[in-house]
Amino acid sequence: MAIDFDKVALGDKLPEWSRRTGFAEWNRYAAVNEEFVPFHMDDEAGRRAGNEQGAFGMGNLRYAYIVNALRDWIGDDGIVREVGCQYRAINQKNDVLTVVGEVTEKTVVDGENRVRLDINVVNQDGGVTCPGHAVVVLP
Amino acid sequence: MSNDTLTYVTEEMRSAQGKWGGTRTAPPITETDIRRWAMATYYPQQPPRIYWDADYAATTQWGGIVAPPDFNPFAWPVERPRGGSPGVSGRRPDGKPLTGMNGGQTDTYGVPMRPGDVVSARSRLLDWWEREGRLGHTLYVRTEIEWRNQDDELVRTRMSISIRY
């Protein structure tokens, strides 16, 4: 189940991790993060905030999806050390979001086997919504 | 049409720049908080056992249940601190209040959060910039937020960008 640092190569792809998103996902995230912002809950409020299609999803939920994709890849023997991303495009209702990533660097720092990845969250049209990076520690 | 004099930067922001604000402390983390967080962010699939199965978690490197790195122990305070970041009270030229949005973040993680942990946070405004964007005049603000647990171990450092337009 765990992946081994020595077997990871530059260019390796993160296994894709997808969710179709809408109120079922947004409302659950709003509940645990107490993130009851009108433009995430109500189409009219979404349009008032400048999104013609109405309510839209939380950036933080896409961030959670990145973290989850990393956890599912590295297993419980790995450590998520760093995650960064920018929220570039809006998460519209019924978007299918997929976390993608590629290994860009392997280093040993302070005795930790670190793997750096370029990360993104793309939608069903291939639209880039959340470019970023991550660093994980592997056994 | 550009407006060279328009700015959403306030005196309050200028005087707060670089200074750590007061410490906020979250309620103790419970197993239920962690399980619900994981169930919400993995929905509709089942989250990994490390987030909810104590017997399994005891066999891992963690020795017990840990929270997902992105877990927020500061949700649902009984008393909410007033305000928020300094200077969000600005108004647009059309008189409407500014809309705030999350622009992105980079988090560096230290020790994991566990059931029973009490996490404290402090933050400071680092810098800001403004430009004309798709949504009109837009202010970007960079904030550093540091989380430590009850043993003063570093849990997370966040560099956060907020957008106001």
pLDDT the model gives residue B80: 76
Write out the two tokens for A18.
């997808």
- Tens digit of pLDDT for each residue in A10-48? 999 999 999 999 999 999 999 999 999 999 999 999 999
Asked if pLDDT for residue B87 goes beyond 60, the answer is no
- Tens digit of pLDDT for each residue in B114-164? 999 999 999 999 999 999 988 889 999 999 999 999 999 999 999 999 999
- Tens digit of pLDDT for each residue in B35-63? 999 999 999 999 999 999 999 999 999 99
Cβ atoms of B160 and B84 within 8 Å: the answer is: no
pLDDT the model gives residue B1: 44
Average confidence score pLDDT of chain A: 96
Distance between CA atoms of B161 and B158, rounded to whole angstroms? 10
Put the strands of the sheet holding A79-86 in their side by side order: A17-20, A96-109, A112-122, A132-138, A79-86, B100-109, B154-164, B136-148, B120-133, B24-25
Q: Which of B55, B106, B154 to mutate to test the interface with A (most CBs of A within 10 A)?
A: B106
Do B43 and A24 make contact, defined as CB atoms within 8 angstroms?
Answer: yes
Distance between CA atoms of B6 and B93, rounded to whole angstroms? 8
pLDDT the model gives residue B91: 76
CB-CB neighbors (< 8 A) of A71 in chain B: 48, 68
The H helix count followed by the E strand count for chain B is 3, 5
Cβ atoms of B10 and B87 within 8 Å: the answer is: yes
Asked if pLDDT for residue A50 goes beyond 50, the answer is yes
**Averaged over B85-104, what is the pLDDT?**
76
Return all residues near B59 (Cβ < 8 A) that are at least 6 apart.
Answer: none
Q: Is residue B82 very low, low, confident or very high in pLDDT (cuts 50, 70, 90)?
A: low
3 state SS of A134: strand
Distance between CA atoms of B32 and B39, rounded to whole angstroms? 10
Q: Output the CA–CA distances (angstroms, integers) from residue A25 to A135, B73, B144, in the order listed.
A: 26, 20, 28
CA angle A80, A82, A87 (to 5 degrees): 115
Asked if pLDDT for residue B4 goes beyond 70, the answer is no
- Give the residue from B79, B54, B82, B52 showing the smallest Cα distance to B68: B52
pTM exceeds cut of 0.95: no
Helices (H), chain A: 23-33, 38-41, 43-48, 59-74
Average confidence score pLDDT of chain B: 91
**Averaged over A88-94, what is the pLDDT?**
94
Do A84 and B48 make contact, defined as CB atoms within 8 angstroms?
Answer: no
Report the gap between the CA of B14 and the closest CA in chain A (Å): 25
Is the CB of A23 inside 8 Å of chain B's CB atoms?
A: no
Of B39, B50, B99, the CB nearest to A76: B50
Q: What count of residues does chain A have? A: 139
Distance between CA atoms of B112 and B62, rounded to whole angstroms? 9
Do A34 and B42 make contact, defined as CB atoms within 8 angstroms?
Answer: no
**Angle, to 10 degrees, between the axis of helix A59-74 and the axis of helix B31-42?**
100
Asked if pLDDT for residue A134 goes beyond 70, the answer is yes
| CA B114 distance to own-chain centroid | 18
Do B61 and A64 make contact, defined as CB atoms within 8 angstroms?
Answer: no
Cβ atoms of A84 and A133 within 8 Å: the answer is: yes
Cβ atoms of A15 and A100 within 8 Å: the answer is: no
